[in-house]
Structure 1
Amino acid sequence: MLLTVDAGNLWQAAEQGLLQPVASTVLEANVPAKYRDPKGQWTGLSLRARTIMYDPSKVSADQLSTYADLADPKWKGKLCLRTSNS
C-alpha cells in the first residue's frame, strides 16, 4: 500500500509499474469515480482545500481572489506562504 499526499508521487509510482489494480465494491460504492483511477490503480482518500485568506479591511476580494492574483508583483514581500514540503 502506498499512501501519499502528492499526485505526482502517484504518477511516478504508476510509471514505474509499482501499482496494481484493486477491485473493491466498497471503494466503488463510497468513493466517486472522479476520485479513483480509471485503471483502478489508486483511490483518493481525502481532499485538500487551498484557500486564500486576507484581511478585508486591507484588501478587497477583487484584488486577491485567485492563484493568478498571487503572482502579481504588487504582492511581492507581502504574502505569507508555506513551503511546498510542509
Structure 2
Amino acid sequence: MIPARFAPIVFGFILSGLMSFIVSGIAILRTAGFAEGLLSLWMGAWITSWLVAFPTVLVVAPITRRIVAKLVKGAPA
C-alpha cells in the first residue's frame, strides 16, 4: 500500500494517464480515422502525451485549487 502522503502524486499520475489516454485517442481517431495501425499510433501519442500531462498536472493542480477556492464560496483553501 502507498502511504497517504503520496495521494496527490498518485492522483495526478492516474488522472493524467486517463485524460491523456482519452484525449490522444480522440485526436488520433480524428486525424487518422480507423486506419490500419491505429492502435500503434494511439499508444505512441498517448505515451508522449502522458509524459507531458503528468508533470503538468502536478504543477497546475495547486494553482487550480487556489483559483477554485477564490471562486467558490466555502471551498477549502
Q: In which range does the TM-score fall when normalised by the shorter chain?
A: under 0.3
TM-score w.r.t. the length of structure 1 is: 0.25
Which one has the largest radius of gyration?
1
Structure having the higher helix fraction is 2
